[in-house]
Structures are given as structure tokens and as C-alpha cells.
Amino acid sequence: MLPGIQPSIPSGDQARCRGCDHPRPPYTGGYTSIRSSLGTFLAKAEHAGCKICSVLAEGILQFLGSECSPLKREGVDEVLLDFNLAGSRRSVEVKFLPTTVKLSFFASKITPWLAENMPDLPLGEEVPSSTSSQASTSWAIRQLEQCKKTHVSCNSFPPAPLPSRVLDLFAEGGNCVRLYVSGGEKVYYAALSHCWGHRPFLRTMSGSLESHRSAIEWHRLPRTFQEAVEFTRKLGIRYLWIDSLCIIQDDIEDWRREASRMASVYQNAAVVISAAKAEGAYGGLYADLPAANKVFTIKFTPGARGMAGEKTTSERQVPEQQIHVRRVLSHPHRVITPYHPSVTRLPIFTRGWVMQERFLSPRILHFGPEELSFECLESTTCQCTPPHHPQPRQPQELQQQQQQQQQKEEVKQPSWYANFVDRTARPKHYYSLRHWQSSSDMTRADLETCWRRLVEDYSHLQLSRDADVFPAVSGLARQMRGVRAGRRGASGMSTGTGTEGAADHDDQGEGGCEYVAGLWTDTLLRGDLAWSVQLPLRGFDEPKKGDRWGPAAVCRPREGWRAPSWSWASVRVPVKFVDKNNRIEPVAGCEVIEVRCEPIGPDPMGELKECGSWLVLRSRLVPTGLRFTERKSGAEKLPWDVVNLDILDGGYLKNVMVDDDCQGLVTVDETLPTAYLVLFGRGVPSQAWYFLLLIRVPEDGSVEVRARAARGDGHVYRRIGLVDVFGGPPGLGRQGWINTLLGKGEDAVVTII
């Protein structure tokens, strides 16, 4: 069973089958996962008399016995049965362990018997043989037309001014295209979202700008660009924006100027074409359906009685049923959990830039390895999912049972689960301006949490250029700033503009919600500073290596500067904020005096100057010795197991999470420097005390360092970790041990770079 989710108990006296957890209650959105050895499950299916087990077993055996299967029965140790794993949609799936192969069961028609006995079974359709087929093109055009005609949130996008440069796809000269310098004409255009890859490909440079304005020969375009041009022409759209051709790649000023406008490019595009399955510019847009995705059909007649011999709602003979099974397709909207990572990590969704491109665009069409998927502001669908059809009419007693069960589930399932499903299965909705602006759904605290979750998701992605870390989310940050500035909630602090104010002041004046290095001035002391390196659990999709941590778990050394040390962007590994259920409140005597983040280019939310970024705090400063923990030779360096703090010896309960392996701190005499704890918040309801772990930056005599040091206690500090202390030596009491700890320091004004 998945952690935190308990199986629903159906009403009535029916006993559940232990092999497949049926009969299950009417569909309400909860999910269940059952793990069993393959041999045990097949034996139970043969002898237990459970119709659902026998259907699942037949599907498993058909697949394993086929020529297109990459597996054979003897290569499978266990099976994992997942019911409604997607959370936001029905699903019945079987995972073969220890492999990554997974089957999906579906029906082309939901009969009354299936609705009653397999409530999680989804509707499905066979997909075309290729995403380049006429059937696929027609499907894409239907989605676009339906979106523009029927979606209230999507049809309010008239033609917008063209970007500075676009590709003209209907230029004279045969199949050639040319780079067109626009005059801001208002006309529909498409944009391409793609992975660059490592192989060199055609780009617009200062020396080729004029020739590209005349013509770009077809054979010089990489395959992904060629197929994007072909598809855009099929849509009847004349202009296409591709970053590498529409931005002068060796002109840093042009790049910064156009990068600051990139969010609006995707926001105003009639459609964004996503080359989701291609690892680079030569991977192409289109894909043929692999033979391994063959659909198998299971036919059976249930008879007058149910799965285990119990009476059904009708004593009449039930007609023949059909259920289909195939390998799970690669959906961009599949739910992801630490225990069930995405079945196929499409290359496009590893890119840092794609988050903004995907979430800002009103419509995006993903070209996957098996099918097309479409996302807009109101809908998410794919070719294997049929158009919405009403569910078959159910017997009255079943409808009443479903209503009762739904009421129970609404009480039992916490709000975090609904948010989790939205975030993982419907991220375009969860991270949309429309969702953020919904006063009925989103409180100020929800907005704060939503941004931190966005940062967590973004920190898992890859960037070709370190300097892109802020430009790649500046459009989303701009939208969030507009929404947050319009809300007044319980959060607040001094504005960070140099004025001193109470840290718990509720009402923010204009400018109180400023975006600084990926964080927000009004919530720095309410959780934004409480980030740490995240350790992903090793999921079922990953090979077992004797430990429970994923490959990103090792605490790695920091690389060059790209953000101030107090920002999550200063590390190049996934990060995690303190959980929303344990919010952080500022403490008396701690306040933000000043925050400064000076941009390099025209985008105030873009790339930052190293010498123009700092944070000044007034708080309690407690010195402490550092020492490396003893570790077995070859053991992984985990963030909480790198250093110990002398001051927290003697019975303190704490987590010391460092941002890197701290090897760069070792002095010439092979010791570690003195570190400092700076108090900034207290957990509610955990009552833990939160500190930044800092070290002093050596004085190098530069004007910049001296100027920044003068703003505080004469020194400049750098963050190296996060510490939370949640217990102290016995006999002192909670207030006693924290007073003892803080009494070893002094009040100070600290400048952190």
C-alpha cells in the first residue's frame, strides 16, 4: 500500500479479494497499490474464482507470451497492481518488477457490469500508427479548434504582435524558409519548444543574420526544425519562432534583450509545438508507434453472478465483456510520486526552460514517442484518451453507494492530496495564472507554497547555461508577483529597501512583495530561506543498489557563482523547502534590513550581478566549531551527515543540512573554519528553531567586499547550510535550552552574499 493512502472499505458485507482488492468501492479518486510475486498472483487468479484477477492474469500472460514483449515470464519477479494511480483519472495498471515495463488496462466502452465491478477501469482508444499520419494531424487540428471555440479561458487570445524575429514559412523559393524581422504585426504564429542536445546545429549568428533574412536552405535545417516547419504549415500558420534561429546566438546584448521577452513569445503563441521525445535538434518531431505497444484484447462472459459468486444487481445473463491491455504510453500528465516516477522521462521535461514554455503557453502540443498530447488552460488530453462520453447509467442502489462513498472520501482525503494530484498530474493547471488568481481556491499561504513547489520542481531540471537559472523562470515569477501583490494576507516583513520594520507586520505597502534571487521579500523569514538539498528516494523504476537513495543523493561540491548563497539557485542540485504543514514564523529580534539583487540585463527578474547581490539580517549570531563526521570509506556524503557543530553537542536534537560537501572550506592546516548560526524563524506547530549556517568570507581588499561588510558587523558571510534544532539537553525545558543556546551568541547585523 502506498504510504499515507489507505484503501477504501466498500459498504456492505462483500469480502475483498486479497489478490486484486476487488470488489472496490465506486470511483471517487483515491488510489491503491498492491505488490505480489508473479507466481503467487497467477496461482490465486487460477484458483480463487475472482473474475477480476483472471482478467488481469490473462492480460499479463498475453503480453508476456507475445513476440513484441521485451520480457518473458521467467524474467519477472513481482507485479505491482495500481488502481487509479493517476489520481485525477481512472487507471488500472500492472508493473513488472524489477523492470520498468508497465501495462495499462482499458475499455473502448464502459458497460454497466464494468462500471459496477471495475470502477477504476478507464476508457481508451488505439492510437494511430505514427504521429506524422493524417489521423494524427486531424486529431491535433480538432483539439485546437475545440479549444478556441469552446474554452472560455483559452478563446480570449486574439492575434498578438509578432516577436522581433520569426521564420516565414511561406517565403518564395521552393521549400526554403527565411528569417523575417517583424514590425510588430498582429498575426497568429507558432513557437517550438525543443532540446538543443550536444550535436552542433544551425543557429543564427552575427555573421549569418543577413543571409538568413534572405533564405535558409532546407537541407541546412536539422530534422526537428524541418518537421516543425512541415507541421506548422499543415496548421495553416505562416510564422514559426525557434529560439536558436530567431535570437542572435553570439550577441550577448541581443540574447539578453530577447530572453527578457521570451515569456511573452510563448504566452502569445497560437500554439507551442513540443518536440517532447527528441533529445536534440536532430531527433525529429514525429515517431512511429513501437511494436511493443500492441493492443491485446480479453473477452469474457461474467455470467449471472459476480466476481466471487456473489449476487449482482441483476440476475439476468450479463453479455460478453471486452477489456484491452497494452504497455503504458508516455504521458506528460502522468502522476509522479517518490515510489512511482514517470514511466518514461521524456527528454523535453528534463529542460529548465520547458517549465516556462509549457506553463505560459495557452496551448501546447507534445509530440511523444507513441502519440500526441495536448494541454491548454482548461484541458489535458491525448490520442489514447477518447472524447468525453457520459458514463453508463448505473443501478439506483449503486448510485447511492457511490454518493455515500464520495462523502466519506472527501472527509478522509486531506487537501494536500488534491494539491499533490494537481501538481503532478495537471501541472499546467496548478502553475497557471488562472489557478493562482482564483480567490476561492488559492489563499495567500497557498500562493507561497505554490511558488516553493514550483522551485522544487524546477530545481530537478537541467540548464545548458548556468546564467539561465533566473531568466528561465522570469515569466512565471512576473505572473506570481502580480498575483501576490494583489493579495493581502498574514505574511509580511520589512520591505527590504533599507527601512527597518517589525518582522511580523501584516500589512504590506506597495513594493513589499519584491522578487529577489528566486525568493520573495515578504516571505524570506516565513519559509523562503528554509530550503535544503533534497534527497530523492530511489523509486521502483530505478535499479536496486543496496540503498534507498537515488543517484542525486550525494552531497556535491559547489561550482562557480550564479546566485547569492542564501538563494536556492546557488546550488545545482534539487532542493526542498520546509513542508507547508510546518510553517515558519519570524522570531522577535530578527528582521530583514536590506535585500539587494542587481540584474545584469534589461530583465529585473533575470541574470544577476555577483557584486550587486546581498541580504542584510539583524538577528542573533552564535559562533560554533565545525568538524567532519566520521564516515566509512567510500560511503556517500549525505547532506545531514557531512559536518557536526560543537555547540550542539551534549543532547541537542537537530538536523544539520549542508549545501555542499564542505571540502572547499578546509584550511591550510586541514581544519574547518569557525561557523555561525543565525536565527531566523520558528516552526509551527513543530516548535523547531531554524538557523542559517554561515561562514565568514575572507577579506580580499576589494572595494565591493568592504562596502558590503560596512552594511553589517564589519564582516561578510556566506551560507553553507540550514540547521533546525527541535530538542535540547534534558532537564532544561524547551525555553531553557533555547535560551542557553542563544545566550552563547550576540545580537548582530549580518551581511550574507
Tally of residues, the chain: 753
DSSP string, 304-326: SB-TTS-B-S--SPPPPEEEEEE
State whether residue 54 is helix, strand or coil: helix
- Statement: residue 247 has pLDDT above 80: yes
DSSP type of residue 454:
H
Cα-based distances in Å from 582 to 335, 415, 686 = 25, 15, 6
Q: Is residue 282 part of a domain?
A: no
Where is average pLDDT lowest: 114-128, 196-210, 222-236, 323-337?
323-337
* Joined grid coordinates for residue 421: 494530484
Q: Cα separation of 741 and 687, whole Å?
A: 15
Range of the domain at 258: 158-269
What pLDDT digit, counting tens, does each position of 7-43 carry?
333 333 356 777 787 777 776 656 778 898 988 888 8
Say if residue 250 is in the same domain as residue 354: no
Q: Cα separation of 227 and 286, whole Å?
A: 7
Say if residue 627 is in the same domain as residue 515: yes
DSSP type of residue 291:
G
**What's the N-to-C CA distance of the chain in angstroms?**
46
What pLDDT digit, counting tens, does each position of 197-214 carry?
999 999 999 999 999 999
Number of domains in the chain: 3
Q: Is residue 135 part of a domain?
A: no
In contact, 404 and 379? CB cutoff 8 Å: no
State whether residue 665 is helix, strand or coil: helix
- Statement: residue 547 has pLDDT above 60: no
Say if residue 469 is in the same domain as residue 608: yes
CA 301 from centre of chain = 43
Q: Please say which residue of 269, 299, 330 terminates a domain.
A: 269
DSSP string, 595-619: EEEEESSS-TTS-EEEEEEEEEEEE
Q: Is residue 323 part of a domain?
A: yes
Q: Please say which residue of 209, 234, 269 terminates a domain.
A: 269
Say if residue 595 is in the same domain as residue 517: yes
The residue among 736 and 567 whose pLDDT is bigger is 567
In contact, 593 and 616? CB cutoff 8 Å: yes
- Statement: residue 580 has pLDDT above 80: no
Say if residue 531 is in the same domain as residue 665: yes
pLDDT at 129: 94
Nearest alpha carbon to residue 352 among 454, 484, 273, 240: 454
Contact residues for 13 (Cβ-Cβ < 8 A; gap 6+): none
Q: What is the strand order of the sheet 189-193 is part of? A: 178-181, 165-168, 239-241, 189-193, 271-274, 363-367, 372-376, 380-382
Say if residue 250 is in the same domain as residue 297: no
Beta bridge partners of 644: 627
What pLDDT digit, counting tens, does each position of 437-458 carry?
775 667 888 889 999 999 999 9
Say if residue 111 is in the same domain as residue 185: no
CA 649 from centre of chain = 38
Say if residue 352 is in the same domain as residue 247: no
Q: Is residue 368 part of a domain?
A: yes
Say if residue 103 is in the same domain as residue 164: no
Beta bridge partners of 93: 82, 104
Say if residue 317 is in the same domain as residue 394: yes
Say if residue 482 is in the same domain as residue 522: yes
Q: Is residue 3 part of a domain?
A: no
Cα-based distances in Å from 294 to 57, 202, 286, 290 = 17, 37, 19, 8
The residue among 666 and 94 whose pLDDT is bigger is 94
What pLDDT digit, counting tens, does each position of 262-292 carry?
989 999 999 999 999 999 999 999 999 999 8
In which band, very low, low, confident or very high, does the pLDDT at 505 lie, cut at 50, 70 and 90?
Answer: very low
Say if residue 577 is in the same domain as residue 692: yes
661: alpha, beta or left? (left if phi > 0; alpha if psi -120 to 50): alpha
Q: Please say which residue of 269, 301, 320 terminates a domain.
A: 269
Helix/strand/coil percentages in the chain, nearest 5? 30, 25, 50
Q: Is residue 646 part of a domain?
A: yes
What pLDDT digit, counting tens, does each position of 600-647 carry?
988 999 999 988 899 999 999 999 998 888 766 656 667 777 888 999
Q: Cα separation of 738 and 745, whole Å?
A: 12
Q: Is residue 26 part of a domain?
A: no
SS (H, E, C) 456-482: HHHCCCECCCHHHHCHHHHHHHHHHHH
What pLDDT digit, counting tens, does each position of 121-139 carry?
999 999 999 999 999 999 9
Q: Cα separation of 473 and 454, whole Å?
A: 10
Count of CB atoms within 10 A of residue 744's CB?
A: 12
DSSP string, 349-387: GGBSHHHHHHHHSSEEEEE-SS-EEEEESS-EEETTSPP
Q: Is residue 529 part of a domain?
A: yes
Beta bridge partners of 216: 177
In contact, 52 and 307? CB cutoff 8 Å: yes
